[in-house]
Amino acid sequence: MWNAESLIASGLPEVTVGIGSSADSDCVESSAEAMGAIVYRDADELVSDLVSGRIDAAVRGNMSSSLLLPKLRRALGLSYLERSVLLEPAGGKMFFLAPVGVDEGWTVDQKVDIAVRTVSLMRRIGMGERIAVMSGGRSEDMGRHRMVDRTIEDAGEVVKALRGKGYDAYDAEILLESAASEADLIIAPDGISGNIIFRALHFLGGAAALGAPLVNSERIYVDTSRAKTDYRDSIALAMKLTEGRK
């Protein structure tokens, strides 16, 4: 089964990865040393080296997101940063989850777009491509509340659009427990519910979060939590994502 350890042990390309660090961060230093990554303590330098191509990929590490992300967005010329998070539940298989930004995934088109972009990244690391599109209820819950109805209708439209593009997508309804074992990518009804799912699985359920790659840029950037104590899997993910770039 594809998991974090097999990712680290897989044949990784010989590329240069930079990782952000707060002052005197032993866990970042040790992870970088183990994976041959470069430690950056200056956000401007990390962003500049990524955008210029002096490094092939960047990992946030435990650098302040409020400091790093605005600089990255401006340097890449993006109006927003769109990410999908790679999770490994305890005893389960890895899958991507999106959207996870509270301001993301509020329309059918946005959910279709992030699914397509995420699958492109999944192919680089050799994952499956089955997409579970979630909603706020089962099909028989139609009529119970207008917001539930909207999410069910949206899920149907997202599935139809993805299938029309040739993707293996299905309507997972509200059954997260089934989607986690059946799918390789879970599309939440919106960014708020996606963020809640992530927090419940990671902070309460103990799922490992390898990182959240940026999907709306060809530059490889993996966002990470400052709470991580080992960034080797995040660095390995960034390395693997450099394969197959346009």
CATH entry, 1-81+216-246, from 3.90.1580, 3.30.70, 3.40.50, 2.40.70 = 3.40.50
Q: Which amino acid is at 86?
A: L
Residue 82: per-residue pLDDT: 93
Which percentage of the chain shows pLDDT scores above 90?
Answer: 80
Mean pLDDT of the chain: 93
DSSP string, 94-148: -EEEE--STTS--SHHHHHHHHHHHHHHHHHTT----EEEE-SS-GGGTTS-HHH
CA 245 centroid distance within chain: 17
Cross-strand partners of 39 = 19
Token reading at 213 = 């790659």
- Helix/strand number for the chain, H first, E second: 9, 10
Is the model's pLDDT at 215 over the cut of 90?
yes
Residue 23: per-residue pLDDT: 74
Residue 136: per-residue pLDDT: 93
Q: Are 1-81+216-246 and 85-210 in the same CATH fold? A: no
CA distance 143 to 149: 6
Band of pLDDT at residue 1, cut at 50, 70 and 90: low
Residue 2: per-residue pLDDT: 66
Reported as a single tens digit per residue, the pLDDT across 122-158 is 999 889 999 999 999 998 888 899 999 999 999 999 9
Nearest residue to 135 (alpha-carbon basis) of 126, 125, 122, 145: 145
Q: What is the CATH number of domain 85-210?
A: 3.40.718.10
Query: Do residues 185 and 213 make contact, with C-beta atoms less than 8 angstroms apart?
Result: no
Reported as a single tens digit per residue, the pLDDT across 71-118 is 999 999 999 899 999 999 988 889 999 999 888 889 999 999 999 999
Query: Do residues 110 and 104 make contact, with C-beta atoms less than 8 angstroms apart?
Result: yes
Query: Which residue carries 């346009």 as its tokens?
Result: 246
Query: Do residues 235 and 35 make contact, with C-beta atoms less than 8 angstroms apart?
Result: yes
Per-residue burial over 171-199, b = 16 or more CB atoms within 10 Å of its CB, e = otherwise: bbbbebeebbebbbbbbbbbbbbbbebbe
Domain boundaries in the chain?
Answer: 1-81+216-246, 85-210
Nearest residue to 56 (alpha-carbon basis) of 95, 12, 91: 12
- Report which of residues 137 and 2 the model is more confident about: 137
Please provide residue 120's backbone torsions phi and psi, each rounded to the nearest 5 degrees: -60, -40
Reported as a single tens digit per residue, the pLDDT across 5-44 is 777 777 889 999 999 998 777 899 999 999 999 999 999 9
Both ends of the chain: CA-CA distance in Å? 28
Residue 202: per-residue pLDDT: 93
Maximum distance among all alpha carbons in the chain? 56
